[in-house]
A and B are shown apart, each in its own frame.
Chain A
Amino acid sequence: MMSIDTALKLGILAPLITAILVPVLSVRANWRDAAGPIGAVITFIAALHVAGHVRDGGTAIWTLIEISPGLSLTFKVTPLGAMFGLVASGLWILAALYTTGYMRGNHEKHQTRFAACYAIAVHAAMAIAWSGNLLVLFIFYEILTFSTYPLVTHKESREAIKAGRIYMSILVGTSLMLLLPAIIWVWITAGTLDFTDGGILAGTLDPSYAPWLMVLFAYGVGKAALMPIHRWLPNAMVAPTPVSALLHAVAVVKAGVFTVLMVIVYIFGLDFLAATGASTWLVWVAAFTILASSIIAMTKDDIKARLAYSTISQLSYIVLGAALATAAAIEGAALHIVMHASAKITLFFCAGAIYVNAHLNKVSQIDGLGPRMPLVFIAYFLGALSIIGVPPLGGSWSKFLLMAGAVDAGLPIIVAVLAVSSLLNVYYLLEPVFRAFFRPTNTEIKVDRHLLTILPPVITAGISIALFFAVDLLTPLTSMMVMP
Chain B
Amino acid sequence: MSIITYNLPALVVALPLLMAAVIALIPSRRVAWVLTLMTVISVTFAAYGNALMTIGASVSYELGGWPPPWGIEFITDGASRVMAIIIASLSLVSTLYAKPLIEKEIHLDDIPRTYAAWLLTIGGMMGLVMTADAFNLFVFLEISSLSAVTLVAMGAGVDRRALMAAFNYLIIGAIGATFYVIGVGFCYAVTGTLNMADLATRLPEATSAPVVVGLAFMATGMMVKAAAFPVHMWLPAAYSYAPSAVSSLLSAVATKAAIYVLARILFTVFGGLEDVTGLIMTWVLIPLSILAMFAGTILAIFEHDLKKMLAQSSIAQIGYITLALGIGTTATVTAGFIHMVNHAMIKGGLFMAVGALAVTLGRRANLASITGLGRAMPITTSALLVCGFSLIGLPLTAGFISKIYLISALLDEGQGVITALVLLSSALSVVYLWKMIEVMWMRPAPEGTKIQENPWMYGPVWVLAVANIIFGVYATPVVALARDAAMALMGGGA
Give chain A's interface residues, CB within 8 Å of chain B: 65-69, 71, 73, 135, 138-139, 142-143, 146, 150, 153, 156, 161, 164-165, 168-169, 172-173, 176-177, 180-181, 184-185, 187-188
Contacts and interface: CB of A to CB of B under 8 A. Distances in A.
Contact of B411 (A68, A153, A184): A184
B476 A66 contact: yes
B427 A156 contact: no
B434 interface: yes
A176 B426 contact: yes
Contacts of A146: 389, 394
Contacts of A135: 395
B442 A181 contact: no
B159 to A, nearest CB: 32
Interface string B340-383: 00000000000000000000000000000000000000000000
A180 B423 contact: yes
B358 to A, nearest CB: 25
Nearest to B426: A176
A172 B423 CA distance: 12
Contacts of A71: 404
B403 interface: yes
Contacts of B476: 66-69
Nearest to A172: B430
Contacts of A172: 427, 430
A446 B304 CA distance: 49
Nearest to A145: B394
Contacts of B392: 176
B459 to A, nearest CB: 22
Given A153-B442, A161-B442, A188-B412, A181 B394 contact: no
A390 B252 CA distance: 63
Nearest to A140: B395
A415 to B, nearest CB: 38
Given A138-B395, A176-B426, 19 more contacts: A67-B474, A67-B475, A68-B475, A73-B473, A146-B389, A150-B441, A156-B442, A164-B442, A165-B434, A168-B430, A169-B430, A173-B427, A176-B392, A180-B407, A180-B423, A181-B407, A181-B419, A187-B404, A188-B412
A138 B430 CA distance: 17
Contacts of B472: 67
A185 B411 contact: yes
B393 interface: yes
13 contacts: A67-B473, A67-B474, A67-B476, A73-B473, A146-B389, A165-B434, A168-B434, A177-B423, A177-B427, A180-B404, A181-B407, A185-B411, A188-B411
Taking chain A's interface residues, is the majority helix, strand, or loop, or is none over half, making it mixed?
helix
A70 B424 CA distance: 26
Given A66-B476, A176-B430, A177-B424, A184 B442 contact: no
A125 B105 CA distance: 47
B294 to A, nearest CB: 14
A409 B430 CA distance: 42
B72 interface: no
A168 B437 CA distance: 12
Interface string B144-164: 000000000000000000000
Contacts of B430: 168-169, 172-173, 176
B82 interface: no
Nearest to B437: A149
Contacts of B396: 139, 143
A116 to B, nearest CB: 14
Contacts of A142: 394-395
Nearest to A64: B473
Nearest to B438: A161
B479 interface: yes
B408 interface: yes
Q: When A and B form their complex, which 10 residue pairs have the shortest distance between CB atoms, in order from nearest?
A: A139-B395, A68-B475, A177-B423, A184-B408, A68-B479, A184-B407, A176-B427, A177-B427, A68-B476, A188-B408
Nearest to B431: A169
A185 B414 CA distance: 10
Contacts of A180: 403-404, 407, 423
Nearest to B444: A156
Interface string B390-427: 00111110000101100110011000000110011011
Nearest to B392: A176
A153 B443 CA distance: 11
B407 A67 contact: no
A135 B408 CA distance: 13
B445 to A, nearest CB: 12
Nearest to B424: A177
A304 to B, nearest CB: 22
A127 to B, nearest CB: 12
A181 B404 CA distance: 8
B401 A68 contact: yes
A177 B426 CA distance: 8
A150 B374 CA distance: 13
B185 to A, nearest CB: 43
B479 A69 contact: yes
Contacts of A65: 473-474
Nearest to A175: B427
A143 B408 CA distance: 22
A181 B412 contact: no
Nearest to B394: A142
B386 to A, nearest CB: 12
Contacts of B426: 176
Nearest to B478: A68
B477 to A, nearest CB: 9
Contacts of B475: 67-68
B411 to A, nearest CB: 6
